[in-house]
């Protein structure tokens, strides 16, 4: 396993509806604090030479513009829900400027959804301007993109198997409400982790704030940054003030370094 220093940028930290939610007048959705504005969940993982995007939700284009991203080496997908794959078409810009096909890593369920939703990208008539991607299957085995090692970690999102990933000493898990012992063993020893923490109340397919906190504490991971947050969790500033030491709410645009 490679252990490069990695920069993790939170491109989006919101749940499937984003925050503010359309037509909602709650205090969070009406907040003037930029940390309460959350695009759909995604991260960018960078070493000195490699850039990986995890999930391309509906806000992918804006996220790339906001962070002024000039180059990506690969996209990795956690699962096929629309809030995680809908923006994939916009890799076309990177195809054009990098003059190359982008590797897209996905399990079979996600590959099937990509081929269905973006069927035109696999048209063999070679029409100019289509997104150009090469789908690389994700199995249970570790793999390497550039100089970044990737360990797949299976978790459950209600009845759907979802992929989390460990990049060196950093683990990223979104859209989960159960992690089995084998997967917990792969996470253990991380120096930083991201988990989904949807809200305070119990949910059928996502960890609550207290459930995510308990996992971090049980695994004794020094730093945690929660994501996939809904407006129901509360105001960023108020919730953050109540969290244990080392545990944080991530916010859009936040960057951290992990060694």
Sequential pLDDT tens for the chain (259 residues): 566 799 999 999 999 999 999 999 999 999 999 999 999 999 999 999 999 999 999 999 999 999 999 999 999 999 999 999 999 999 999 999 999 999 999 999 999 999 999 999 998 777 888 999 999 999 999 999 999 999 999 999 999 999 999 999 999 999 999 999 999 999 999 999 999 999 999 999 999 999 999 999 999 999 999 999 999 999 999 999 999 999 999 999 999 999 9
3-state class (DSSP) for residue 121: helix
Output the pLDDT for position 123. 81
The CA-atom distances, in angstroms, between 170 and each of 53, 135, 187, 188, 193 are 14, 24, 9, 10, 6
3-state secondary structure of 85: helix
Residue whose tokens read 């080496």: 73
How far apart CA 196 and CA 145 sit, in angstroms, is 24
| Helix (H/G/I), strand (E/B), else coil: 176 | coil
The domains located in the chain, with CATH, are 6-250 (3.60.15.10)
Rounded CA-CA distance 205/157 in Å is: 5
Which is nearest to 230 in space by CA: 18, 10, 11, 79? 18
DSSP one-letter code for 177: S
Q: Spell out a b/e string for 7-26, using b for 16 or more CB atoms within 10 Å of the CB, else e.
A: ebbbbbbbbbebbbbeeeee
Task: Assess contact for 174 and 32: CB atoms under 8 A.
Answer: no
């Amino acid at each position: 396993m490679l252990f490069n220093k990695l920069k993790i940028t939170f491109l989006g930290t919101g749940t499937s509806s984003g925050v503010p939610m359309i037509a909602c007048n709650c205090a969070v959705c009406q907040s003037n604090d930029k940390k309460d504005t959350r695009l759909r969940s995604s991260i960018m993982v960078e070493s000195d030479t490699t850039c990986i995007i995890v999930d391309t939700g509906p806000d992918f284009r804006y996220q790339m513009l906001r962070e002024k991203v000039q180059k990506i080496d690969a996209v990795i997908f956690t699962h096929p829900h629309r809030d995680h794959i809908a923006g994939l078409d916009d890799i076309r810009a990177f195809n054009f400027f990098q003059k190359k096909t982008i590797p897209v890593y996905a399990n079979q369920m996600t590959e099937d959804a990509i081929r269905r939703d973006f069927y035109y990208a696999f048209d063999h008539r070679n029409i100019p301007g289509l997104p150009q991607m090469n789908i690389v299957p994700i199995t249970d085995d570790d793999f390497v993109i550039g100089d970044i090692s990737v360990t797949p970690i299976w978790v459950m999102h209600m009845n759907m198997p979802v992929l989390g990933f460990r990049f060196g000493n950093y683990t990223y898990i979104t859209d989960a409400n159960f992690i089995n012992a084998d997967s917990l063993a792969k996470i253990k020893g991380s120096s930083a982790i991201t988990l989904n923490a949807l809200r305070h109340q119990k949910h059928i397919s996502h960890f609550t704030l207290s459930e995510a906190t308990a996992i971090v504490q049980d695994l004794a991971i020094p730093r945690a940054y929660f994501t996939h947050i809904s407006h129901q969790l509360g105001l960023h500033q108020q919730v953050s003030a109540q969290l244990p030491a080392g545990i944080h709410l991530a916010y859009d645009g936040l960057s951290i370094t992990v060694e």
